[in-house]
Structure 1
Amino acid sequence: MKKEILLVGGSSGIGFKIAKNISQTHNVTVASRNAGNLDELNVRHLKFDVHHDNIEEMDLPEKLHGLVYCPGSISLKPFKMHRLEDFRKEMELNFFGLVKTVQAVMPRLRSAEEASLVFFSTVAVKVGMPFHTSISAAKGAIEGFAKSLAAEYAPGLRVNVIAPSLTDTPLSEKLLNTEKKIESMKARHPLKRIGQVSDIANLAQFLLSDESGWITGQVMGIDGGLSTLNLS
């Protein structure tokens, strides 16, 4: 029997690649604002805006074996230029939207007896980086939430977080729009390249699978060595 997987925000970038990877082996529902190129895949699309819609009202499977929450943002600027509202916006999309989603689908996850939840953070939570105050605050909340949730719902639910460094997605387009920027970003990483959507999606696919059945409560860095290696 195929597992039922819900991807929130999977119409482009990493989410789309996850959907593509698992669509042949699982029943995949993608809830996102637009369908993008999802018609190319064997998935079901539900029009959904995490800010305004209630996912409980969506036509979801009675049981969910996996949940991936993909919505995110990259808002980088000096702290002195931030308003409190900027922090609220980051929290609303990255954290409160996640909490609202998890609360709404929790009965369906628990009905599956064993389910895997995958969230996304950033390397900037572990490694302090300038201009990342708002996004690091929101993603840091996700990491703490995930660990507590994993403890509370073990062994029925596994909860893990992927913390990437800069990845070549539509979201990071402005950071990678010149050769000079690309080369500079590559040089920051010990592996001397920028992350690709397949790097992140492959890990998410693994965390959804039974092969990761003894992994929970983890924040997994996939960042070209940036968070742990100092080559200077």
Structure 2
Amino acid sequence: MGTIIVIGGSKGIGKSIVNMMLESHRVINISRTPPESRHSNLTHYDGDILTDELPDLDSVDSLVYCPGSINLKPLARLSLDDFRSDFEINVLGAVKAIQKYLPQLKKGVNPSILLFSTVASKLGMPFHASVATSKSGVEGLVKSLGAEFAPTIRVNAIAPTVTNTQLASKLLRNEKMIANITERHPLKKFLNPEEVASTAAFLLSDKAASFSGQIFEMDCGIVSFKI
């Protein structure tokens, strides 16, 4: 039974990943709030990725970094601190976690790292300057570390479109907005966190042994198609 660390596994996509992996893996969740789930395979550590020391662990096979931000403003209203904050949570937090657990991952069984980007890194969208900039940094990190850690550790990312989580609640706050977002996607849908968790579970598994340095766009067609 492998050991998976999930940073930010108490809410949203991270929560769905934790719940999906519990029956087959030891899952270590590190987040500011405890998860609602209780399971013999689940261990929780309280901590803020940006300010707190990460716990020492003996064994790690996979690392999933879920924290992110949706800071949507016109450029004129974005401060340099907004850009710094988004970069810190999306990129520097991931770097901190990877550096901390790299020695354990190198000794893991079929080790893997999974990060998260966004469709806004590929699709130019108004008011996304800060989050798209930081998530583009995540994609560069995936490519660079995938090459650096080969053949020992695989590194990939999922770039989801709008996902029905608390983080995206402002984008889905009424029926009109839900209808507009649904209509914008060629597949006439947006994502739920369980869909993203299923892709994460695949990328962490031996079935994805040939994938590294890849950005998997879960876009419901919005990036891939022009219809």
Please say if residues 2 and 109 of structure 2, whose CA atoms lie closer than 8 Å, have aligned partners that are also in contact: no
Q: Which residue of 2 aligns with 1:140?
A: 136
Find the aligned partners of 2:41 and 2:174 in 1 and give their Cα distance: 35
Which runs of 5 or more structure 1 residues have no equivalent in the other structure?
none
- Note if contact 1:146-1:160 (Cα within 8 Å) is conserved in structure 2: yes
| TM-score where L is the length of structure 2 | 0.97
Q: Is the 8 A contact 1:38 1:45 kept in 2?
A: no
- Counterpart-to-counterpart distance in 2, 1:174 and 1:40: 32
User: 1:174 offset after TM fit, Å?
Assistant: 1.1
1:119 aligns with 2:99: no
Q: 1:139 to 1:180 in 2, by over 3 A?
A: same
Mapped partners of 1:50, 1:16: distance in 2: 16
Per-residue deviation, 1:135: 0.2
Residue 176 of structure 1 aligns with which residue?
172
Q: Give structure 1 regions of 4+ aligned residues with deviation exceeding 4 angstroms.
A: none
Per-residue Cα deviation, 1:124-165 (whole angstroms, up to 9, x for no partner): 001111100000010000000111100011010000010000
Can you list the C-alpha shifts for 1:96-119, whole angstroms capped at 9, x where unaligned? 111111111100100115301000
The equivalent position to 1:219 in structure 2, one of 209, 212, 215, is 215
Q: Could you say what the CA RMSD is over the residues aligned between the two structures, in angstroms?
A: 1.1
Query: CA separation in 1, counterparts of 2:109 and 2:39?
Result: 31
- Does structure 1 residue 95 correspond to structure 2 residue 91? yes
Aligned equivalent of 1:186: 182
Match of 2:157 among 161, 165, 179: 161
Task: Indicate the percent of aligned positions where both proteins have the same amino acid.
Answer: 42
Residue 12 of structure 1 aligns to which amino acid in structure 2?
K
Say which SS state the counterpart of residue 225 (structure 2) adopts.
Answer: coil
> In 2, distance between residues paired with 1:113 and 1:17?
23
The alignment partner of 2:154 has SS state of strand
Number of aligned residue pairs: give it: 227
Residue type matched to 2:17 in 1? I
From 55, 61, 65, give the equivalent of 2:61: 65
Distance across 1 between alignment mates of 2:23 and 2:110: 21
| 1:54 aligned onto 2:64 | no
C-alpha contact (below 8 Å) 2:9/2:66 kept by paired residues: yes
* Residues 177-227 of structure 1: per-residue CA shift (max 9 Å, x gap): 100000000011011011110111100000110010111110000010111
Mapped to 2, the partners of 1:112 and 1:153 lie a distance apart of 13
Cα contact 1:20–1:41 (8 A) shared by 2:
no
- Gap change, CA 1:41 and 1:175, over 3 Å in 2: farther
| Displacement after TM superposition at 1:40 (Å) | 6.0
The answer to whether structure 1 residue 24 and structure 2 residue 23 are counterparts is: yes
**8 Å contact from structure 1 (residues 6, 66) kept in 2:** yes
List runs of 5+ in structure 2 lacking aligned partners.
Answer: none
1:43 counterpart = 2:63: no
